[in-house]
């Protein structure tokens, strides 16, 4: 099977090079029994790739099971995976086979492997090394022949450094890594996916297919899609049902999915890590720049107000751009700018607004602004927390980052002291 055939069979939409590379690796490794670690953000379709690996392997006629390690309570995960003996714990009234016994000769997909408890990781490592495991409450060693495909949406290297993931298990699982790109790394595929989902839901609900205006298309392509394909699909289903018109405009998106416009920033997504990642830092920086622009507009409004109310003069040679669209364009031609030439540091070509009755200005000192990204990030976090009265969820939403990321930055900058 080639890449194009795999796309058609598994309904994978997109032409991004990183996506094609991931499919190619999955097809090639399927013929082996090597363990595979699929990396990628939540919602990119990691389970689809695990099915490609299983269904194109020699185990395709045997069982396949997908297990979300983060959804199984820590106290029962060992029993779920390896089974237990009668009386092993309260409530164990009968013997039970675990997944590694029932899926013998098949494939087990372990999603969110980073959420697996450390003791369970030790048992899993033993299976990877020699295929042996022991049921909970038993001393009998059992054998299994199961291929393991794992997936994670977190940085396991950071978990290793934090002592929350075994390094030896990581290298066992990571025999063949596959990275699935996020939607923000596949901008050209976003519109194609939107159209595909729109057609699907139009057929499902027997309605007209929703379309996007050029402005709305730009908005969804600039949005970074933290939920990736899953989030995009949910959005298309929502607007297909709720939109009053089949042609979606920016106004419709503002009403039905305001988060699309709120976080439509032109940034690239970096791989998530234990620290605030480059995507979050860029988002904060862009927000800072947008706030600066708003402050500059306020300053311009103040200057125009002073000109109008304090008999200030403007030179005819200088044209001033109005701040508001409806402001008369003749305003600049009705005033004059005088040049204050008594001070040597000022250029003859530099316009200085003065009051007609003033003689001059005092000397000023130019101070370089602190451009440290860490300092600006810290400043914005402090402002957001103050604005929302230390409500971290609201502050995180205001900053455009996750509450978990905000918590890490508060710790890093010692803002909770």
281-296 per-position pLDDT tens digit: 555 666 666 667 667 7
The C-alpha atoms of residue 28 and residue 170 are separated, in whole angstroms, by 21
Q: What is the DSSP letter of 114?
A: G
- Report whether 226 contacts 256 (CB < 8 A): no
The C-alpha atoms of residue 109 and residue 74 are separated, in whole angstroms, by 18
* pLDDT tens-place string over residues 222-238: 898 999 999 999 999 99
> pLDDT-derived band of residue 75, with 50, 70 and 90 as boundaries?
confident
What average pLDDT does range 62-77 have in this prediction? 91
Q: What pLDDT score does 95 carry?
A: 85
- Report whether 24 contacts 186 (CB < 8 A): no
Ranges of beta strands (E only) in 186-236 are 211-212
Domains and CATH numbers, the chain: 3-181 (3.40.50.300), 184-262 (1.10.8.60), 275-417 (no CATH)
351, burial (CB in 10 Å: exposed 0-12, middle 13-18, buried 19+): middle
> pLDDT-derived band of residue 331, with 50, 70 and 90 as boundaries?
very low
Q: What pLDDT score does 356 carry?
A: 46
- Half-sphere exposure of residue 254, counting CA atoms within 13 Å on the CB side? 4
Q: Tell me the whole-structure pTM to 2 decimals.
A: 0.61
Q: What pLDDT score does 383 carry?
A: 87
What average pLDDT does range 78-104 have in this prediction? 87
The C-alpha atoms of residue 417 and residue 412 are separated, in whole angstroms, by 11
Helix (H) or strand (E) holding 290: helix 278-309
Q: What is the DSSP letter of 44?
A: S
3, burial (CB in 10 Å: exposed 0-12, middle 13-18, buried 19+): middle
Residues contacting residue 132 through CB under 8 Å, at least 6 positions apart? 126, 141, 142, 143, 144
Q: What is the DSSP letter of 113?
A: G
> pLDDT-derived band of residue 313, with 50, 70 and 90 as boundaries?
low
Whether the CA torsion 258, 185, 272, 3 is positive or negative: it is positive
- Residues facing residue 407 across a β-bridge: none
Q: What pLDDT score does 401 carry?
A: 82
What average pLDDT does range 120-146 have in this prediction? 92
Per the model's pLDDT, the better-predicted residue between 269 and 373 turns out to be 373
Q: What pLDDT score does 336 carry?
A: 41
Q: Is 172 a residue whose pLDDT tops 70?
A: yes
């Amino acid at each position: 099977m080639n890449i194009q055939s795999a796309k058609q069979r598994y309904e994978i939409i997109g032409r991004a090079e990183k996506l094609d590379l991931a499919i190619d690796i999955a097809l090639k490794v399927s013929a082996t029994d090597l363990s595979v670690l699929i990396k990628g953000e939540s919602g990119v379709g990691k389970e689809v790739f695990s099915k490609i690996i299983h269904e194109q392997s020699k185990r395709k006629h045997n069982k396949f099971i997908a297990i979300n390690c983060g959804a199984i309570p820590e106290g029962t995960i060992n029993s779920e995976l390896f089974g237990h003996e009668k009386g092993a714990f309260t409530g164990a009234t009968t013997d039970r086979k675990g997944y590694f016994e029932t899926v013998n000769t098949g494939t087990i997909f372990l999603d969110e492997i980073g959420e697996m408890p450390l003791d369970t990781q030790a048992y899993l490592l033993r299976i990877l090394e020699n295929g042996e495991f022991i049921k909970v409450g038993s001393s009998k060693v059992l054998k299994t022949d199961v291929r393991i495909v794992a997936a994670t949406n977190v940085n396991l290297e950071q978990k290793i450094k934090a002592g929350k993931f075994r390094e030896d298990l990581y290298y066992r699982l990571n025999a063949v890594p596959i990275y699935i790109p996020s939607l923000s790394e596949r901008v050209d595929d976003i519109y194609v996916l939107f159209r595909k989902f729109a057609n699907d839901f139009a057929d499902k609900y027997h309605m007209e297919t929703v379309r996007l205006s050029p402005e709305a298309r730009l908005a969804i392509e600039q949005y970074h899609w933290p939920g990736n394909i899953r989030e995009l699909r949910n959005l298309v289903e929502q607007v297909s049902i709720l939109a009053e018109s089949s042609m979606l405009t920016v106004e419709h998106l503002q009403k039905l999915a305001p988060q699309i416009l709120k976080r439509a920033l032109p940034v690239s997504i970096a791989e998530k890590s234990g620290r605030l990642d480059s995507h979050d830092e860029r988002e904060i920086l862009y927000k800072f720049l947008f706030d600066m622009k708003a402050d500059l507009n306020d300053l311009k409004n103040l200057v125009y107000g002073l000109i109008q109310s304090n008999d200030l003069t403007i030179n005819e040679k200088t044209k001033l751009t109005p701040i508001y669209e409806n402001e008369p364009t003749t305003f600049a031609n009705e005033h004059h700018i005088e040049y204050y030439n008594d001070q040597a540091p000022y250029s003859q070509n530099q316009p200085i607004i003065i009051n007609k009755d003033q003689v001059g200005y005092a000397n000023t000192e130019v101070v370089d602004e602190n451009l440290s990204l860490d300092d600006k990030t810290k400043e914005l976090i402090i402002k957001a927390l103050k604005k929302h009265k230390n409500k971290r969820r609201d502050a995180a939403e205001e900053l455009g980052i996750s509450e978990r990321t905000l918590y890490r930055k508060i710790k890093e900058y010692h803002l909770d002291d």
